[in-house]
Each structure stands twice: as C-alpha cells, then as structure tokens.
C-alpha cells in the first residue's frame, strides 16, 4: 500500500497511526466485533483497525476528516458492501442519521487526542443509540474517566462520563506502537452507556453546572465554591457536608446537589 500511496502524518489532525500488529490485535480482541453488528469507526486513518473490524463480518461506517486519506480508504475498502465512508468531522456527525435502534451502535476509534473530550461529550448526547464505545486516548484522560471519588483524577470528566456510562480502563499502549510516536502514553478505554441511569438527575444541565462550579476551585470547600448556586442550608438539605472539598463527593451526592438546585430554581 505504501508504494501506491504515501501519506504524511498531519499533526493538526492528531495523526498517529498504529503500526504494532500485536497492539492492533489486542484492541480488536477487546472490541470483539461480530457479524450482524453495526460499528462506527472515528478516524480510520490508513485503516489499521478498519481491516480487522470489517473482517469480522460486521457492518462498518467510518468517519474521516482528512480528505487526503479518502482515496486510500476507498481503494482498500470501497468494494466491500458492508463498508460506508463519511468524509467529515466526527464532532458534527449526527449519529442518529445511521438509523439504529436504541443501544445498538458500537463506536470505536484511535482518537485524535485534541478532540477526544468534546467528542466523548458529543457522543454522550446520543448515548441512547450506543451499545458501547472503545477508544484509544491519552492515558491521563483514561485515568480521569475511570477515576474514583477521593482521588486527584476525580473531576468534571469522570463525573459527567460516569453519570452516563460504566467505564473500564482496559490496557495501556506505549508510544512505540504508533507512527509517528506521540509524546504521551496511551490507553484503551471501554465506555458502556447505562441502560438505566443509576443516579438520574432531575435536570442533567444543572448537574453539569454544579459540577463545573464545584471544580472551578477544587481546593476550596463546597460551601465556598457553590455559594453562587446553593447556600449552606441548601447544601445541608441535600445531605452534603459543605466543609468537604469537591473531590471528596461521589456522583450520587452531586446529583442530590443538582436536584436541590432544580427544586429552588425555575427551569431555565
Ligand atoms: N485509526 C487510525 C490508526 O489507528 O492508525 C488513525 C488514528 S489517528 C490517531 C486519528 C485519525 O482521526 C486520523 O486519521 C485523523 O485524520 C482523523 N481525524 C482527526 N480529526 C477528526 C475529526 N474531527 N473527525 C473525524 N476524523 C478525524
């Protein structure tokens, strides 16, 4: 393939192409795609994961932003009936347009690290369509996604993602598996949207607001960081100790604070 087509990795598209066959195999084994399933790959690049995903017999849609990679992807996979190529930005992609039943889409990708957080939030907006997601991300981001309350990694990302999904940090991948090698370690994470939310908030936008406000100053007490939203009495009414710092609170406690805010404020 490289003789036919030479692609220069582009930094602005976050291009670090996987070339380690052992790592590619391990990722595919973690995903376990099967015939009859519907997968969406974000950023197929030169097709390192795409070939194995299609080889399983699954139906595969891929979304690639870099126009220069489109001819190569068409050449490699274009004749395959179960393959659909979308050229565009995954951040703007309407996953509902794929017309799937609830909780069936399987989303995968070795993601460009510069868009991974907004992309995960974009996908969480459509979590009802998704069965699971497997992503390669910066290891540090995976640690934040999978963090537990009380740890230094526990914050807005952990809470908002764990509100919607079960998170599993599967394994780490060193820079040598990529070409060119990134400057940071990477990891594979599995996100499984909950069939039913374990701690549903009355209004999830208020949960976002409380969490953002609380972690704006993570060293301060909740009484202090939340003073523009909830007074000491309201915090207590939510069953929360206002002298704690935000990182000491679990998801259920943040949901109680958001519900307290919903009870006192008319919906925006
Ligand atoms: N999957 C390939 C692999 O593992 O070798 C490529 C991974 S590379 C880290 C990220 C890929 O995402 C690149 O092909 C890049 O062009 C593509 N990409 C970057 N931004 C994107 C976006 N907003 N939407 C869709 N694809 C994007």
Which residue bears the tokens 């914050």? 155
Do 79 and 56 form a contact (C-beta atoms < 8 A)? no
Q: Residues 167-171: what's their mean pLDDT?
A: 98
pLDDT of residue 266: 62
- Taking the C-alpha atoms of residue 143 and residue 45, their distance in angstroms, rounded to an integer, is 25
pLDDT per residue as tens digits for the range 85-127: 999 999 999 999 997 788 999 999 999 988 999 999 999 999 9
State if residue 89 touches ligand 1 by the CB under 6 angstroms criterion. yes
Task: Check for a shared fold between 3-193 and 204-264.
Answer: no
Do 147 and 155 form a contact (C-beta atoms < 8 A)? yes
pLDDT of residue 268: 53
State if residue 215 touches ligand 1 by the CB under 6 angstroms criterion. no
State if residue 246 touches ligand 1 by the CB under 6 angstroms criterion. no
pLDDT per residue as tens digits for the range 9-58: 888 898 999 999 999 999 999 999 999 999 999 999 999 999 999 999 99
- The domain locations on the chain are 3-193, 204-264
pLDDT of residue 5: 60
For residue 167, give the nearest of 187, 151, 185 by alpha carbon: 187
User: What is the Å distance from ligand 1's center to 45 Cα?
Assistant: 5
Which CATH number is 204-264 given? Answer: 1.10.8.100
Which residue bears the tokens 């097709």? 47
Which atom of ligand 1 lies closest to the CA of 18? Answer: 5
Percent of the residues in the chain that have a pLDDT greater than 70, as a whole number: 97
Which CATH number is 3-193 given? Answer: 3.40.50.150
Under the banding of pLDDT at 50, 70 and 90, the label for residue 234 is: very high
**Phi, psi at 95, each rounded to 5°:** -65, -25
Which atom of ligand 1 lies closest to the CA of 109? Answer: 1
pLDDT of residue 100: 77
User: Does pLDDT of 160 surpass 90?
Assistant: yes
Residue positions counted in the chain: 268
pLDDT of residue 12: 84
The residue whose CB lies within 8 Å of the most ligand 1 atoms, and thus the one to mutate among 14, 43, 119, is: 43
State if residue 116 touches ligand 1 by the CB under 6 angstroms criterion. no
State if residue 45 touches ligand 1 by the CB under 6 angstroms criterion. yes
- Taking the C-alpha atoms of residue 220 and residue 225, their distance in angstroms, rounded to an integer, is 6
- Taking the C-alpha atoms of residue 123 and residue 2, their distance in angstroms, rounded to an integer, is 33
pLDDT of residue 169: 98
Percent of the residues in the chain that have a pLDDT greater than 90, as a whole number: 90
State if residue 40 touches ligand 1 by the CB under 6 angstroms criterion. no
For the chain, strand residue ranges (E) read 17-18, 38-42, 59-64, 83-87, 105-110, 130-138, 165-173, 178-179, 186-193
- Taking the C-alpha atoms of residue 140 and residue 227, their distance in angstroms, rounded to an integer, is 31
Mean pLDDT of the chain: 94
pLDDT of residue 142: 98
Residue 239 buriedness (CB in 10 A; 0-12 / 13-18 / 19+)? exposed
State if residue 17 touches ligand 1 by the CB under 6 angstroms criterion. yes
Q: What is the pTM of this model?
A: 0.94
């Amino acid at each position: 393939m490289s003789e036919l087509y030479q692609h220069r990795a582009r930094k602005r598209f976050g291009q670090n192409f996987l070339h380690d066959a052992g790592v590619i195999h391990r990722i595919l084994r973690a995903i376990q795609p099967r015939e009859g399933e519907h997968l969406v790959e974000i950023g197929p690049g030169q097709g390192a994961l795409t070939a194995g995903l299609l080889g399983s017999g699954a139906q595969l849609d891929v979304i690639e932003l870099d126009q220069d990679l489109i001819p190569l992807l068409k050449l490699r996979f274009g004749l395959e009936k179960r393959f659909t190529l979308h050229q565009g930005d995954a951040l703007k992609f309407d996953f509902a347009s794929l017309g799937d039943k609830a909780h069936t889409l399987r989303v995968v990708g070795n993601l460009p690290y510069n868009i991974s957080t907004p992309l995960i939030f974009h996908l969480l907006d459509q979590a009802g369509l998704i069965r699971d997601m497997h992503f390669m991300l910066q290891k540090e981001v995976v640690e934040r996604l999978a963090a537990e309350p009380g740890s230094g990694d526990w914050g807005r990302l952990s809470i908002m993602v764990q509100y919607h999904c079960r998170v599993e940090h599967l394994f780490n991948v060193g820079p040598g598996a990529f070409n060119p090698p990134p400057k940071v370690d990477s990891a594979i994470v599995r996100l499984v949207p909950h069939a039913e939310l374990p701690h549903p908030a009355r209004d999830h936008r208020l949960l976002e607001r409380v969490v953002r406000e609380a972690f704006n100053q993570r060293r301060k007490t909740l009484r202090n960081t939340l003073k523009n939203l909830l007074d000491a009495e309201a915090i207590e009414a939510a069953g929360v100790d206002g002298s704690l710092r935000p990182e000491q609170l679990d998801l259920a406690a943040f949901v109680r604070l958001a519900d307290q805010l919903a009870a006192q404020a008319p919906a925006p």
